[in-house]
Chains A and B, each alone.
Chain A
Amino acid sequence: MSELSGQIREAVRKLLRQKEVDLVIGFEAGTLPLHSTPCFIREQQEAERLIWNSFCDNNLAKYLGKRQEKIAIIAKSCDARAIVELIKEKQISREQVVIVGVPCHGMIDRRRAEAELEGKEILEAEENDGELTLKGNGFTKVLKRSDYLCYGCEVCFHRNPVIYDILIGDGVAEKATDQYSDIAEFEAKSTEERWRYISDQVSKCIRCYACRNACPLCYCRECFVDNTHPQWTGKTTDISDTMIFHLMRAFHLAGRCVGCGACERACPMKVDIRKLNRKLVSDVKVLFDYEAGISLDRTAPLATFKPDDPEGFMLNP
């Protein structure tokens, strides 16, 4: 991992030296164990701050919109998929961004690692050779890294960036095609069970909007929940209001969600937000044979119209 950090710094220094970009968005060490944190670099000498490890879990594509400068972005595969969508949706031009792609082994879900320690506090975390070593007062625990990945990373079938200008390190082996077995399991439940599950999850929501604000594809200048004139949705934490927010958001992301899981990781209340989003990702795949973030050329299914669309779901509901 430190080798990758070195290569990233090298590439970034060159980009800044040759004035190919004005700004670099990457990760630096966080203030807490198991955390890296987004950083913004404009000077060559600051490149030393950049790091790469299994804690770089934010989707940095979030920071690309509404900027004028030429930007280099350190992009793992899901960041790259989000960039593809942002380019297609004209939020940024391909020319404005230099994509420094990093093949990804998956990011660590710190809550999963913490759960292993039954309340003991992690004060230090190190990773090497597929192992994660956690240290605290009076304990050292070694975990197998691959057992503690974020859920989004566990079901990720595109670990190599689909788009890049510079590639850091070697490619990583891809898993077989996604069968959406987790979604099939959910679909097999009765309507009541599914409703109960989603209701239980959504009832935890405190409407902090961290899911929306961490999502690289939630970039509406005015989100429907923030609109006050007219006010489309209730503002309380009553389940009827929070449910509308989560359902509408999920539908708004249909065919656009790249499955990075940034929403779920940002949620302080551990709401299983991805269940809805991933169900729609799966539907879009099954119905339209389309995956968001994979190709710059294919138009998103909900951004197109064909006069000969059979619209079977309307005629035979």
Chain B
Amino acid sequence: MKTKIIRKQDMTGLLNNLIQEYEVFAPVKRDDLVIFDRIGSDKDVSLEYTNSIKPPKEILFPQSETLFTCGSIGDAASIEVPVSEERPRLLFGIRPCDARSFLLLDKVFNEENHRDVYYLSRRNDMMVIAIGCIKPRATCFCTSVGGGPFSSQGSDLLLVDIGDDYIIQVITDKGSRLVEKVGVADAGENKLALMKMVIQEAELSMSPQIKTDGLKEKLDSAFDDPIWGSLTEKCLSCGICTYLCPSCYCFDIIDEVTDSKGERIRIWDSCQFPLFTLQASGSNPRPTNKERHRQRVMHKFSYCVDNYGQVSCVGCGRCVIECPVNLDIRQVLTTISNR
């Protein structure tokens, strides 16, 4: 792996350079909340953050998106698909857990038999520059689900904060081309030693929080376990855990019609909402918290293992922190593991 180095104060120039060529999305502060948004200059960026409130998935998979509009011209029907004229996107300063989540989203939206053109129009040329976590939170459990505070999965470049400088780990060819183009120095031995220390310290600060060995088998055999009822009794069936999850991808498709014009829109949906499985007959196969919350856990830790060979959770901890009733997925998984 190639490693480059850049002084922190020189990052300003680099970012402004990138803004010339890419639509750059970065962590910005809005009303005390850190979110990912388009930036017009380096001054908007707020890298001093643990993680954003909303995951960056909406940059690839917006919460609402028009798939096409339709109408009529004379006697003929017309259909228009929105065409993006945008420059390629670059995500700057996202956390390794969120970068990993893109690989999970790819499995759904870029699957052999189902290529999602809307998703791919943004994904194909996208550049990801992640920043490793020198201070993981107590709610982070990336190391329990195959990631880590400096995992490079899903990133083209990974920044390591070593004090006055960032070490740039060059992960992909695409990332390599970018660093060659902007021209940054190679990292020296002593700086690399410093980087190793920083990484090791962060990794050591994290302890395993869930046991994933044999978890899938446990979950599969516990499907009818009454414990699900008591574990989920307090759930409010809101959409926080799914909407703030970087790897939850469920959506609904709706048609909005006004006069002679129609619009087909894709919107996020949540398996926690009763409406998600409500059938036209009025019957609902997942009528209570128990079935709905079990579905979320099973989907991530069992069904995705069947379908994609890996769990669909990156351990970012957003659902843990933001659940209004403190329904903690780590506790749910641990309880099931111990059955």
Contact = CB atoms under 8 A, between A and B. Distances in A.
21 contacts: A32-B139, A32-B321, A36-B326, A37-B326, A37-B327, A58-B324, A119-B49, A121-B137, A204-B33, A206-B239, A208-B240, A208-B244, A208-B270, A210-B236, A210-B324, A213-B236, A226-B273, A228-B275, A235-B64, A236-B265, A266-B324
Contacts of B234: 37-40, 63
B111 to A, nearest CB: 26
A101 B269 CA distance: 38
A269 B54 CA distance: 9
A207 B272 CA distance: 13
Interface in A107-123: 115, 119, 121, 123
A14 B139 CA distance: 37
Interface of chain A: mostly helix, strand, loop or mixed: loop
A70 interface: no
A237 interface: yes
A62 B32 CA distance: 29
Most buried by A among B274, B321, B325: B325
Contact of A115 (B30, B32, B50): B32
B238 A213 contact: yes
A189 to B, nearest CB: 18
Nearest to A262: B324
Contact of A121 (B50, B54, B233): B50
B138 A270 contact: no
A212 B321 CA distance: 19
B63 interface: yes
A31 B328 contact: yes
Contacts of B139: 32
Interface in B60-86: 63-64
Given A40-B230, A119-B49, A237 B238 contact: no
Contact of A268 (B53, B135, B256): B53
A272 B271 CA distance: 26
A235 B33 contact: no
A226 to B, nearest CB: 5
Interface residues of A, number: 38
Nearest to B327: A37
Given A40-B230, A40-B233, 15 more contacts: A30-B326, A32-B321, A32-B328, A35-B326, A37-B234, A38-B325, A39-B234, A40-B234, A123-B138, A208-B238, A213-B237, A226-B274, A235-B254, A236-B64, A268-B240
A265 interface: yes
A234 interface: yes
Contact of A204 (B31, B49, B239, B240): B31
A62 B234 CA distance: 10
Top 8 closest pairs, chain A to chain B, by CB: A236-B64, A208-B239, A266-B324, A210-B238, A37-B326, A213-B236, A30-B326, A38-B234
A207 B326 contact: no
A235 B321 CA distance: 26
Contacts of B14: none
B190 to A, nearest CB: 26
A30 B330 CA distance: 12
A284 interface: no
A237 B62 CA distance: 10
A36 B137 CA distance: 19
Most buried by B among A30, A115, A121, A236: A236
Contact of B239 (A32, A37, A40, A209): A209
B64 A266 contact: no
